[in-house]
Amino acid sequence: MIPPKPAARTGKVSLWRYWQMFRRDILSAQPERLYRARMAEFKTPFFRSFLINEPDLIKTVLNERPSDFPKSARITSGLAPLLGRSVFVTNGDEWARQRRIIDPAFEGGRIAATFPAMTDAALAAAKRITPGRLDVESWASHATADIIFRTLFSLPIEDDLARETYQAFRSFQREQPVGTLAALVPWLPVRHRRPAREAARRLRQLIGDLVDQRQALIDVGKAPNDLATKIMTTPDPETGYMFERDEMVDQVAIFFLAGHETSAALLGWALWLLAAAPEWGEEVAREGEAFWPSPEFGRLSKMPITRNVIRETLRLYPPVPMFVREARQPETFRKRAVPKRAQIVISPWHLHRNDRYWSDPDAFDPSRWNTDAGRQASREAYLPFSSGARVCPGAGFAMAEAAILLTAAMVRFEFKPLETPVPAAHLTVRAKDGISLEATLR
């Protein structure tokens, strides 16, 4: 089955035209040649950009010399009103200190401890589906937000503060694009639209209320054993430093943005793919029927087909389609001079569909993950959660979350596609006009 893919840009365009296309959709703004190129250079009057599509170069940037290629502040400038100095935007010693505090909360044992909260949210999400037309992206967004609230703050999304926080987050998403004109013209000041600033201010205020409530419970020894408590009570093992209140607000903001938005995108595409390839949907439903009578974290390994469906969905529709780094010093890539401060773009979207590494790269085929060729390609050309030091700390959490939400829905319902969605990328890879499925009780 060949799922949808946006048409690539044809021919050369002016810088201004490229920016307009980029603002509408990152993916269709790129030329077709990037699906085969080992490296491509993009020149502007203001900066140079290099897309690297070769495993050895990617390994150099992400794994071997990450400190020489810090995250580009130009690309994250659009999210500054919300994210502050979160781990998503920082570099160097500040980033390393934050990761030393955050990472223990997402170790396997901690995920197992939050697993009952995940399963409660997944069952609640499945019950919210009714026979008939399902707006998949709305449902997925609500379901993944519920998991964030339950595992982070031990609150279901029906809680008044949780619900208000979720609504404020959705308002920010609507108002603020990830890209700003300052990303294109570096000396321009970063401007954020007033509605986006107000939405971010309100959201940070609500997150602050959640953090204050939790700190009060920690102070009297009555805090639940969830992710927020773990992060707020974990000192940096090297310095003893613990997150201050506003810094914790920064981190919670990125947990919502990354953990909710990316997981919702993954879940939406996975459900559509299973509806379009019903033979795989039946396999996932069978694994779910065996799992759900006694859902335990350790039994996730008993659902290999579901895991491969999720891997294949992440290959075809990586939620974050591109990572951008910045060269700290002059470099040479493939005998080309890369100047200092050049943008280095790593594109999972293009790498995952490059036929140098993947057989039938545009096809939906979860069975490829059981082949030697598929396993080799996954080691060389598969980056849904990035790689190296800056690999997503919540990758294991996201895989577990996707498995239980997907199987909870598939056990109760059969799904049929009502139309073919068109992928488009802004903050994450979503469907341009949403995803709709016909849901029928089994």
Return the SS3 of 370.
Answer: helix
Question: What pLDDT score was predicted for residue 77?
Answer: 65
Question: What pLDDT score was predicted for residue 190?
Answer: 55
Are the beta carbons of 392 and 263 closer than 8 angstroms?
A: no
Give average pLDDT by consecutive 10-residue segment, the chain, 442 residues.
88 77 80 90 83 93 93 70 82 92 85 92 95 93 90 88 77 57 50 71 88 95 93 94 92 82 91 97 97 94 97 95 91 94 92 93 96 91 92 90 97 95 84 92 92
Regarding pTM above 0.75, the answer is yes
What are the extents of the domains in the chain? 15-441
The secondary element (H helix, E strand) that includes residue 59 is helix 55-59
Letter string b/e over residues 247-286, b meaning 16 or more CB atoms within 10 A of that residue's CB: bbbbbbbbbbbbbbbbbbbbbbbbbbbbbbbeebbebbbb
Burial class for 73, CB neighbours closer than 10 Å (0-12, 13-18, 19+):
middle
Are the beta carbons of 326 and 344 closer than 8 angstroms?
A: yes
Are the beta carbons of 88 and 258 closer than 8 angstroms?
A: yes
The tokens for 14 are 């002016």
Question: What pLDDT score was predicted for residue 353?
Answer: 95
Question: What pLDDT score was predicted for residue 182?
Answer: 47
- The alpha-helical segments, DSSP class H, found in 108-155 are 108-127, 136-153
Selection from 254, 269, 276 nearest residue 429 by Cα: 269
Are the beta carbons of 339 and 313 closer than 8 angstroms?
A: no
Pairwise CA distance, residues 181 & 189, whole Å: 9
The tokens for 201 are 């201010």
Judged by phi (left if over 0) then psi (alpha if -120 to 50, else beta), residue 76 lies in alpha
DSSP assignment of 285-353: HHHHHHHTTS--GGGGGG-HHHHHHHHHHHHHS-SS--EEEE-SS-EEETTEEE-TT-EEEE-HHHHTT
The CATH number of domain 15-441, selected from 2.60.40.10, 2.40.50.140, 1.10.630.10, 3.10.25.10: 1.10.630.10
The tokens for 162 are 């949780």
Question: What pLDDT score was predicted for residue 174?
Answer: 61
Question: What pLDDT score was predicted for residue 300?
Answer: 94
Rounded to 10 degrees, the C-alpha dihedral 149/153/154/158 comes to: -40
Pairwise CA distance, residues 63 & 390, whole Å: 9
% helix / strand / coil in the chain, to the nearest 5? 55, 10, 35
Are the beta carbons of 404 and 118 closer than 8 angstroms?
A: yes
Tell me the CA distances in angstroms from 148 to 142, 233, 333, 334, 439, one per residue in order: 10, 19, 40, 43, 25
